[in-house]
Amino acid sequence: MADLANDDLLRYRSEFPILERTTYMISNSLGAMPRGVYDSVHEYCDAWASRGVRAWEEKWWMMACEVGDLIGGIMNAPANSVSLQLNVTSCQAVVASCFDFSGKRNKVVYSDMNFPSVMYFWEAQRSRGARINMVRTDDGVHVPTERLIDAIDEETLLVPISHVVFRSSYIKDVKAIIEKAHKVGAHVVLDAFQSLGNVPVDVQALNVDFAVGGVLKWLCGGPGTSYLYVRPDLGKKLEPKFTGWFAHQNPFAFEIGPSKYGDQPFRFMQGTSNVPGFYTALPGLKIIREAGVDKIRAKSKKMTARLIELADQRGWKVNAPRDPERRGGTVAIDMPNSHEVSQELLRRDVLVDWRPRAGVRFSPHFYNTMEEIDRAIQTVDEILSKMGVAAGTR
């Protein structure tokens, strides 16, 4: 393998069992499971089986800080500024519950390229007084930054936006959007689900107010662990109304009446946390931190460029930004019969997904080889030729 000689990220390949059996190109949806998850889950079971309720005090309670800080380290967040939540949708709920929509400043500005769950959540806040301004795309790939910036005004309260757009992998100019929001007194909720672990994110350099995402894609964790970064100055004063006993400054006093908010990260949590999810998240986070996102990003750019080159050679439509600086880790390719092709790829153990108006989505990660990219596209050639579609036709 020529790749192995000059790509030191490939030393992690043996940590991911599924790579022995499949061409794994779907890290935008679910990252490959690290081998270490078996031991980690075993450790969870051992603690429960042998330590019983004492496991809370000995390990589980503070694991929220341990895992939160591991995630925080990948986005340059200060210690204790990242709380753990169940999913990105619930992160939006925590943020929304910190604000009042009854005043003049009650506008929520977002783009129609947001992940639908995030969109559904904010649309539902109309009944709580939120005025929603959804800024639309023309090309299905991006919303011009100027258009978003122009929509953010003195009456804007919140701007929930994706860093990397899930549909097209377009990387937004979030710095410009955050600057405009701050200029008029609005807050930005950055959805970093499709960036963190693959594209560098620095919450302090961006000066973003909130950052959210989950661990199950580019961070190679499992379902049920999501993160909510709150900028520390806001973390001292905001009082989420979606709250519970974990957020109380003295939870074990079991006081009656309104909560007295404690410090971050627990301040933004609610009730009993998803401990097994924390255990499944740990091995992937450790690998990503050790491998380093800058290296991962450099390799990702090469792999996505190769996918585009191969698609261009065949005359297939590429639904991803051409500019590598604006392109995340996914390349959607709309070849002929793309839906059927995606189903046949899955049958042949090339793991991808398909989306209407986008095509087959290929999302290689640091553990993939260039040879796998070539092989995945060759497999498409074989499938098309079996279907009687000549290469180069659309």
Ligand X SMILES: Cc1ncc(COP(=O)(O)O)c(C=O)c1O
Residue 353 interacts with ligand X (CB under 6 A): yes or no = no
Q: Which of 115/210 has CB closer to ligand X?
A: 115
User: How far apart are CB 272 and ligand X at their closest, in Å?
Assistant: 19
CA–CA separation, 282 vs 151, rounded Å? 40
Binding to ligand X (CB under 6 A) within 232-261 occurs at: none
User: Which range of residues in 5-13, 67-75, 125-133, 187-195 is near ligand X by CB under 6 A?
Assistant: 187-195
Pick 167 or 248: Cβ nearer ligand X: 167
Quote the distance between the C-alpha of residue 106 and its chain's center. 27
Q: State yes or no: residue 137 binds ligand X (CB under 6 A).
A: no
For residue 194, state whether it binds ligand X (rule: CB under 6 A).
Answer: yes
Which part of the chain contacts ligand X (CB under 6 A), choosing from 6-14, 39-47, 86-94, 268-276? 86-94
Report in angstroms how near the CB of residue 194 gets to ligand X at its nearest.
Answer: 5
Exposed / middle / buried, residue 63 (Cβ in 10 Å: 0-12, 13-18, 19+): buried
- Closest separation between CB of residue 168 and ligand X, Å? 11
Is residue 226 at the binding interface for ligand X, with CB under 6 A as the rule? Answer: yes
Helix (H) or strand (E) holding 188: strand 187-191
Alpha-carbon gap, residue 377 to 375, rounded angstroms: 5
Burial class (CB in 10 A: 0-12, 13-18, 19+), 373: buried
**Residue 75 burial (CB count, 10 A):** 26
Phi, psi of 113, rounded to the nearest 5 degrees: -95, 0
Q: Which of residues 31-60 bind ligand X (CB under 6 A)?
A: none
Cβ-based nearer residue to ligand X, 165 or 291: 165
Peptide bond into 276 cis (omega under 30): no
Lookup: tokens for 46: 């051992």
329 contributes a contact to ligand X by CB under 6 A: no
Contact 212, 92 (CB under 8 A): yes
Is 88 a residue that touches ligand X (CB under 6 A)? Answer: yes
> Which of residues 12, 24, 101, 115 is near ligand X by CB under 6 A?
115
87 binds ligand X (CB under 6 A): yes
- What's the CA gap between 325 and 1, in Å, rounded? 29
Distance (Å, rounded) from C-alpha 291 to C-alpha 295? 7
Part in contact with ligand X (CB under 6 A); list of ranges 41-49, 190-198, 234-242, 325-333: 190-198
Site residues (vs ligand X, CB under 6 A) = 87-89, 115, 117-118, 162, 166, 191, 193-194, 214, 226
